[in-house]
Amino acid sequence: MSMADLAQLKVHPQIRPPIEVFRNNVLQRINKTTIAIYPVF
């Protein structure tokens, strides 16, 4: 998934599939460095 895709998901949170919501919640609990290391999780 590209950064553009992630940006669109943030713009339209209502259409995010549950797995994306879960993944984003997990990543938000981890520091930003981990997101940079693992852009696709």
First to last CA, the chain: 9
At 12 the pLDDT is: 61
Instruction: Copy the structure tokens of residue 22.
Output: 């879960």
2-36 confidence digits (pLDDT tens): 777 766 666 665 666 778 788 887 777 775 566 56
At 18 the pLDDT is: 79
Alpha carbon distances (Å) from 41 to 7, 24: 16, 10
At 28 the pLDDT is: 78
| C-beta of residue 38 within 8 angstroms of C-beta of residue 6 | no
At 36 the pLDDT is: 62
Quickly state the pLDDT bin for 37 (edges 50, 70, 90): low
